[in-house]
Structure 1
């Protein structure tokens, strides 16, 4: 008789760990904010355009992180608009709020909020919702989208930036592959978030359609990671990518150091005479809430 117990993904434990890691990484993520804004700038502007964000818009930013894109949205909507930046990690939101004040923006607010618990927001109170590299990490993406849609006015738009497939994102997929092998991680459990969970053809469209969104469109945006060297890319990922640290949690300090060295060696394949150019492609998807 087979007495083996099937492992189950623990979403609550995952969120607790994720929150703690982002709390710890908040300073580093904030320090890299200028680079992140440049790296993801085209994808971010495409997200704004597809969401029809303009002067006077009320915008909900889900999984806003340190708020670089939230501040860009606040500038775009102007004094007659409003941006609410939400995230599970308050330390990140503190940086966003401080940067908004420094920029003289009074139309941005922050709120600590799980992206799957948006039902607490007033219904039909936003014109658009955005999420930059956040939706991929929600254990229950449909619950998150249901909360987003509830918060939007009829006809409002949801736009998200996600990674495409691993083969088009070597700067990230290669470290993930190396860590998975060295840490002897099993295949992801059903429901376990992963960076490339929405990247395959038709997947993001299907997720949006299941949530009841209409007029769905997905665009590919080449977003190469340009840095002086592979070593600098490793420093960026080591300081800022909580998902990679989460994968290495069972390795000791020496093992972790060896993994990072091996990642740097592998990423040197993307060094050119002009510096490091890491392959990266983002998908920008948009869908519209049904009219009343």
Structure 2
């Protein structure tokens, strides 16, 4: 049976999954910031955020990188955090308030449709593991390009290739096999959709960006045990829940057990270190 990809249904499902996972993504915030800290720092540096800048954060999630960007922009700057999920934006706003940062606003918005933003109104733009999940990445990139002033930079964190990201590609492979899902076709959204050699550079070039750079950032997921990593993924990775949706409860339980068994290969006396490699892709309008 051939399954036709429907981007409208996909986005509706994605929004629902992140509405459900928002609390968990917020709760796992310290783990996420430890895992993505180096890549986030590289992204913010590449975007060139400085005092007084207006920053657009696309697919902002629970706002860890939003707050970091706001601190760089300082009290005279401003960060607009957008996301398709209002629930997760609520946690971003809460995180900013708890951090004493008053220069963050949130906007529920589809990252593929940023037409409501004034052209050239931002000095910099960022997106942390969000762009990869857009069905129409060119629409998203085009909207970000339009929202930037000339000379403004956009920097995104994306996964590299599956072989460099065992902590995630192993669960994806197991679920795909058990749920009898076809491999994603070229151009379809997914965690590794921009990871192949030259893929991200071409996407940015097509959208009109220039001076494109790609930096590789090792980003191992460090937790006490493989079971902790599975709990992290099980509670907060919306993409995996979306893939599991066709399985019944017993099928989902069996999939998670196999994932746990496979991820134990990354345990050592010092704890669990799940292989992960991020790319920081940056372009200038």
Range class of TM-score, shorter chain: over 0.9
Q: Secondary structure of the equivalent of 1:127?
A: strand
Aligned to 2:131: 135
1:151 alignment partner, one of 147, 150, 154: 147
- Whether 1:183 and 2:218 are equivalent positions in the alignment is no
Residue pair 2:187, 2:193 contacting (<8 A) in 1 also = no
Distance 1:130 1:170 in 2: 25
- Whether 1:263 and 2:263 are equivalent positions in the alignment is no
Residue pair 1:55, 1:78 contacting (<8 A) in 2 also = yes
1:228 alignment partner, one of 203, 224, 240: 224
* Structure 1 position 160, deviation (Å): 0.3
Stretches of structure 1 that go unaligned for 5 or more consecutive residues are: none
Aligned to 1:54: 50
Residue pair 1:9, 1:189 contacting (<8 A) in 2 also = no
Greater Rg over alpha carbons, structure: 1
Residue pair 1:59, 1:84 contacting (<8 A) in 2 also = yes
Between the two proteins, the alignment pairs up a number of residues equal to 285
Q: Secondary structure of the equivalent of 1:139?
A: coil
- Whether 1:68 and 2:64 are equivalent positions in the alignment is yes
Query: RMSD in angstroms over aligned alpha carbons?
Result: 1.1
Q: Secondary structure of the equivalent of 1:40?
A: helix
1:93 alignment partner, one of 75, 89, 93: 89
* Structure 1 position 54, deviation (Å): 1.5
* Structure 1 position 8, deviation (Å): 2.9
- Whether 1:245 and 2:228 are equivalent positions in the alignment is no
Distance 1:282 1:272 in 2: 22
Q: Secondary structure of the equivalent of 1:84?
A: strand
Runs of 4+ with deviation above 6 angstroms: none
Aligned to 1:171: 167
Which string of whole-angstrom CA distances, capped at 9 and with x for unpartnered residues, describes residues 230-262 of structure 1? 000000000010111111111000110011011
- Whether 1:78 and 2:89 are equivalent positions in the alignment is no
Distance 2:51 2:140 in 1: 26
Which string of whole-angstrom CA distances, capped at 9 and with x for unpartnered residues, describes residues 13-37 of structure 1? 0000000000001100000111101
Question: Which TM-score applies when normalising by structure 1?
Answer: 0.96
Aligned to 2:100: 104
Are residues 190 and 168 of structure 1, via their aligned partners in 2, closer, same or farther at CA, if it must alter by over 3 Å?
closer
* Structure 1 position 7, deviation (Å): 4.5
Question: Which TM-score applies when normalising by structure 2?
Answer: 0.98
Aligned to 1:288: 284
Stretches of structure 2 that go unaligned for 5 or more consecutive residues are: none
- Whether 1:31 and 2:30 are equivalent positions in the alignment is no
Aligned to 1:121: 117
Residue pair 1:8, 1:189 contacting (<8 A) in 2 also = no
Distance 1:103 1:7 in 2: 45
Distance 1:172 1:187 in 2: 15
1:15-26 alignment to 2 at 5 Å?
15-26=11-22
